[in-house]
């Protein structure tokens, strides 16, 4: 297996993505996560750009990393001054990283029209800056910015910028597809031609995703000899983002036979990606290859049947290889095989050919016709099965609930906008409580769990992690039916439940009740009394 060096720019290029902002603590957490994955180089920022990055590099000196090397990032010196007098280069030296990434212009248009200097001075800026950093004791990766556009416009000059970096002592030449607009085949041909002219130095690829080809361009460059690849772990970054490093890692390891994780197991990929997403406060799109929630999700009956017989019939790899999991989605098109499997999980003694499978399938279709959608709320459908099989005993019954909102808010300092009162009956005992929340559903959720915790203490660990509302028939305006989907967790497991009604509060109530009852059943708790 040939080696490909991974260079993650989540903390630098990724931080330039819209809506992304990292604290110093966030950056330290992400560095640890990337290190645990086996990434070799972590570009952590520009120490000369802001006080936060300066603070980060100071604190990062105490990090004990097993696999990764921190990289500081900066530009070539300013025009018409000595490198030793450039403040940004001085700060790069002070960051004391073993590796420094220096970017310089490789497109003559950028040289003459953007930074407005001569072509000769730009070559001097590149060579002087690289030599200054190398002489200070750090290895230098040279990022040839806009290299591919520059190569198309003025091949000789683009190549001259690489030679200037080599003359200054750069150890790796990174070809940057900065605008993200090149088709992969052109990236591959230019990379291959460049490699033939610089056979003794490692080439890298840095691609953006403006036409959706960031990963493809990176893979194409590696196929023709690049052995250093840059990207951001989850693909976010400037404009449409950077090449998604998670996808690149998985492709290199599972499809191309390249070792890029220094022996760290690939099954860490999905957990690390989800941890980084949590710190970055972003959601991984469900359809993200390899790591997305839907990457190995099957819904069609023929697909589910095939996967149950042999997963390779519809899956290109085993999901566990990248730390993900297979999901068989319950829906009206899922087929009897999956229905039977879910029934058997709840009632193992029930024969798979029992007519109950047919009646439950009909009930599923009827509920979906009303607006229910169980592919994202399998926990609610498990409760449907229990109720149908008479295996369900309610843990509580509602006496009444009431929500109240006001404008202006009664207590704006607390953040609460609504109050909720919930009265329930558990066994032969009634209980009532009230709570405040940021909106009626939040108040209702707090009140419901508060009143039930005295009977079922295990609910103290439960909280909502997601809440979605979908209007099902917008033509009815404010009288439209809505679907509410909530995701809950107890800190270890997560589950999703659903409610449908023309009343958004009632739909939320139905989903909340299912969430609580599913948790109690999963914990093996017996209802206080049979309330049926």
- 333 part of a folded domain: yes
CA nearest to 297, candidates 321, 259, 329, 340: 329
Q: Are residues 168 and 210 in the same domain?
A: yes
- 519 part of a folded domain: no
Helix (H, G, I), strand (E, B) or coil at 29: helix
Tally the C-alpha atoms within 13 A of residue 449's C-alpha that lie toward its C-beta: 23
Pick from 354, 388, 422: which residue ends a domain? 388
Instruction: Locate 195 and state its tokens.
Output: 């490699």
Pick from 368, 388, 408: which residue ends a domain? 388
Give per-residue burial for 222-259: e unless 16+ CB within 10 Å, then b. bebebbbbbbbbbbbbbeebbbbbbbbbbbbbbeeebe
Q: Are residues 126 and 256 in the same domain?
A: yes
- Give how many domains the chain has, as a whole number: 3
Q: Are residues 348 and 449 in the same domain?
A: no
CA nearest to 507, candidates 419, 417, 440: 440
CA nearest to 214, candidates 236, 196, 194: 236
- Tell me which H or E stretch contains 436: strand 429-437
Pick from 427, 455, 483: which residue ends a domain? 455
CA nearest to 508, candidates 437, 454, 433, 459: 437
Please say whether the dihedral angle defined by the alpha carbons of residues 76, 79, 80 and 85, taken in this order, is positive or negative: negative
Query: Between β-strands 139-145 and 172-177, what pairing exists: parallel, antiparallel or unpaired?
Result: parallel
CATH number of the domain that 124 lies in?
A: 3.20.20.70
**How many Å separate Cα 297 from the centre of its chain?**
17
- 11 part of a folded domain: yes
Query: Between β-strands 418-426 and 397-405, what pairing exists: parallel, antiparallel or unpaired?
Result: antiparallel
Q: Are residues 218 and 136 in the same domain?
A: yes
Sole residue written with tokens 């009140």: 447
CATH number of the domain that 405 lies in?
A: 3.30.160.740
Task: For residue 208, give the DSSP letter.
Answer: B
Q: Are residues 316 and 231 in the same domain?
A: no
Q: Are residues 93 and 203 in the same domain?
A: yes
Q: For the chain, which ranges sit under pLDDT 50?
A: 530-532
- 482 part of a folded domain: no
- 527 part of a folded domain: no
Q: Are residues 423 and 383 in the same domain?
A: no
3-state helix, strand, coil split of the chain in percent (to 5) is 45, 20, 35
CA nearest to 198, candidates 154, 160, 149, 151: 160
Q: Are residues 366 and 400 in the same domain?
A: no
**E strands along 222-358, which residues?**
228-231, 297-298, 327-328
Which pLDDT value is given to residue 276?
Answer: 94
Which pLDDT value is given to residue 532?
Answer: 41
Q: Are residues 128 and 252 in the same domain?
A: yes
Alpha-carbon distance of 417 to 403, in angstroms, equals 11
Q: Are residues 166 and 312 in the same domain?
A: no
Q: Are residues 77 and 189 in the same domain?
A: yes
Please give the residue range of the domain that contains residue 137.
5-264
User: At how many degrees (to 10) do helices 155-168 and 184-197 cross?
Assistant: 50
Q: Are 235 and 214 in contact (CB under 8 A)?
A: yes
Q: Going by C-beta distance under 8 Å and a sequence separation of 6 or more, which residues neighbour residue 187?
A: 148, 177, 205, 207, 217, 220, 221
- 167 part of a folded domain: yes
Q: Are residues 86 and 166 in the same domain?
A: yes
- 495 part of a folded domain: no
- 192 part of a folded domain: yes
Alpha-carbon distance of 38 to 460, in angstroms, equals 37
């Amino acid at each position: 297996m040939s080696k490909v060096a991974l260079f993650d720019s989540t903390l630098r290029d990724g931080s330039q993505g819209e809506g992304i902002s990292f604290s110093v603590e966030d950056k330290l957490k992400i560095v640890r996560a990337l290190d645990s994955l086996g990434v070799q180089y972590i570009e952590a920022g520009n120490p000369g750009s802001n006080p936060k990055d300066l603070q980060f590099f100071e604190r990062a000196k105490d990090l004990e990393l097993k696999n990764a090397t921190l990289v500081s990032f900066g530009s070539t010196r300013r025009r018409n001054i000595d490198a030793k007098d450039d403040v940004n280069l001085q700060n790069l030296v002070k960051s004391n990283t073993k590796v420094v990434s220096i970017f310089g212009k490789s497109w003559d248009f950028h040289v003459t029209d953007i930074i407005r200097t001569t072509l000769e001075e730009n070559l001097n800026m590149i060579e002087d800056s690289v030599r200054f950093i190398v002489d200070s004791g750090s290895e230098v990766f040279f990022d040839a910015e806009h290299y591919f556009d520059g190569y198309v416009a003025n091949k000789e000059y683009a190549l001259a910028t690489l030679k200037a970096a080599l003359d200054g002592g750069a150890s790796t030449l990174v070809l940057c597809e900065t605008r993200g607009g090149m088709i992969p085949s052109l990236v591959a041909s230019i990379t291959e031609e460049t490699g033939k002219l610089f056979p003794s130095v490692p080439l890298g690829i840095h691609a953006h995703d403006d036409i959706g080809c960031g990963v493809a361009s990176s893979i194409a460059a590696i196929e023709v000899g690049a052995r250093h690849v840059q990207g951001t772990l989850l693909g976010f970054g400037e404009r449409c983002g950077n090449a998604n490093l998670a996808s690149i890692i998985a492709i290199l390891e599972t499809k191309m036979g390249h070792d890029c994780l220094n022996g760290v197991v690939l099954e860490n990929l999905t957990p690390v990606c989800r941890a980084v997403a949590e710190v970055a406060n972003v959601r991984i799109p469900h359809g993200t290859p390899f790591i997305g929630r839907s990457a190995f999700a099957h819904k069609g009956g023929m697909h589910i049947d095939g996967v149950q017989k042999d997963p390779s019939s519809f899956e290109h790899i085993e999901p566990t290889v990248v730390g993900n999991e297979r999901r068989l989605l319950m829906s009206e098109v899922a087929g009897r095989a999956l229905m039977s499997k879910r029934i058997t999980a709840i009632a193992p003694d029930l024969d798979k050919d029992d007519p109950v499978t047919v009646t439950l399938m009909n009930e599923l279709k009827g509920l979906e016709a009303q607006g229910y959608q169980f592919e994202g709320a399998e926990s609610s459908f498990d409760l449907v099965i229990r109720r149908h099989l008479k295996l369900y005993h309610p843990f509580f019954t509602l006496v009444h609930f009431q929500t109240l909102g006001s404008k202006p808010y009664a207590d704006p300092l607390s953040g609460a906008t609504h109050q909720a009162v919930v009265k329930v009956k558990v066994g032969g005992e009634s209980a009532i409580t009230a709570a405040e929340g940021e909106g009626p559903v939040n108040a209702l959720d707090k009140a419901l769990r508060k009143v039930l915790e005295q009977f079922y203490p295990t609910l103290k660990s439960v909280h909502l992690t997601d809440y979605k509302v979908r209007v099902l028939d917008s033509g009815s305006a404010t009288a439209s039916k809505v679907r509410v989907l909530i995701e809950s967790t107890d800190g270890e497991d997560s589950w999703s439940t659903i409610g449908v009604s023309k009343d958004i509060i009632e739909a939320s109530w139905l989903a909340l009740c299912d969430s609580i009852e599913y948790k109690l059943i999963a914990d093996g708790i017996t209802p206080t009394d049979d309330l049926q």
